Copies of this chain bind each other. A is one copy, B any other.
């Protein structure tokens, strides 16, 4: 999966700097790896120590890194993923087996959602590897964990040969960043401290313009040139590949209206006047849907049109009207181009609007008021709508929104924010609290407002203890309806969708956080007010009716319910 790159534009500048001092041509394998990670802008790692990985912990300490120790490996993965989405690389340090195999689901999520998460695992010493894999934390063979990781990562390497160690480490770190997808490095315990020569940097091959780029640009120019009502559908890769500025420039020049996909929410700033809403097929705001589907050209940048990105394939994006450009493909109408670097394409397109064929071209932006949540006038009761309405009045540049899976995500799509992190494509529960912590550590200027369902919170909500230990102050807004509500709405009321209702305030306090339970809109408002001055983590336990879900979740569960019944006869 690593081969075939034709681009040289995607190495960040720091990759081309010599590192360390010139006379230092030797280093240890572990130090080489950690120096490379530091160069990439990473300032802390996430993990749980264990004996096979201790030499990495010791080495990172010597390199000035700290590891944020979480309580459970699934959380380690989610926190490092969120950190990676913001910083461009996030690192999880886990032990073999009990650690590495306990983080697989989090790595799978990062793969599906294109997050540059690097997992580093220690493993049994190379000298044991000719024997049977009968050590602790081992399964079938010494290669088992590598094979498992191969299924959920873009690149991976087992470092057993000091001669190739640096190149292999470089390859995986570079691929993780370039492809914005997980990488895996496995280092047997006895390889870390072996001294190696630092390889000289090989500058990226200076390639010419990719084959087809000019033709593709000309075609896009022609299509935009004749379009009457185009729309730009912005996906997560715009953010992943750090191209927001280019896209904003393009939008400013063309005055084209912008919608975002679910995973792409905030890949384009929602405070920008051209932003008109989230497009989520028939699950999303009907007015946005109607507008997008009446357009004569959809310029889809940085989105992969997966099931969730298209509202369960309910999105109507006819191929004839579609220009689909992302890091995997460039398809215009019915034909595709060979691999064209996504960032290079954006550069060319931006140039076309400043000094090329599209210079001066201007479209019109419709006025689409955001979908309102159902609210009675002067409503006193707490409801999902009342919560979102209240939050929308509070949200500004001091906050980011991080969600778990459930109505916390689908209702959360109605929040107006410029930083939104959610498991919108892979859809795993348990993401919210650890991801909120990882995000706040990556960018402490914003406080994480974490929306979590009770099901997801019961999986990983204990990480409030980690926030307390670190002295950071995320706010958790808990959708407490004592059930896997999404499942209940897809199917019907069943005992296996019921959750024990914890005393969440008691849990929060026992973990060193502040907790408050609210049952009315006023209490919710007051709780948020008191959260403002809270210097540690805070949980707001919002008791909501089991029949209360957002319009988006209602449309989504109706759709998936139909699908389930169709296949389950």
Contacts and interface: CB of A to CB of B under 8 A. Distances in A.
A308 interface: yes
A487 interface: yes
Contacts of A494: 49, 57, 61
Interface stretch (A231-239, A272-280, A505-513): A505-513
Nearest to A427: B136
Contacts of A151: 139-140, 144-145, 147-148
A426 B105 contact: no
A428 B102 contact: yes
A427 to B, nearest CB: 4
Nearest to A497: B49
Interface stretch (A442-450, A458-466, A542-550): A458-466
Contact of A509 (B109, B466, B506, B560): B506
Contacts of A104: 101-102, 104-105, 148
Nearest to A110: B139
Contacts of A108: 97, 101, 139, 144
A1 to B, nearest CB: 8
A564 B189 contact: yes
B428 A67 contact: no
A9 interface: no
Contacts of A487: 49-51, 54
Contact of A427 (B137, B144, B147, B567): B137
A147 B98 CA distance: 19
A500 B465 contact: yes
Interface in A464-491: 465-466, 468-469, 484, 487, 490-491
B484 A49 contact: yes
A347 interface: no
A97 B428 contact: yes
Interface string A57-99: 1100100000101011110000000000000000000000110
A503 B465 CA distance: 11
A69 B425 CA distance: 25
A307 B57 contact: no
A423 to B, nearest CB: 9
A426 B502 contact: no
A23 interface: no
Kindly name the residue among A97, A145, A496, A503 whose own CB sees the greatest number of chain B CB atoms within 10 A. Answer: A496
Q: Give the 4 A-B CB pairs with smallest separation, nearest first.
A: A506-B510, A134-B306, A98-B428, A102-B105
Interface of A: 47, 49-51, 54-55, 57-58, 61, 67, 69, 71-74, 97-98, 101-102, 104-105, 108-109, 111-112, 125, 134-140, 144-145, 147-148, 151-152, 189-190, 192-193, 304-308, 425-430, 458-460, 462, 465-466, 468-469, 484, 487, 490-491, 494, 496-498, 500, 502-507, 509-512, 560, 564, 567-569
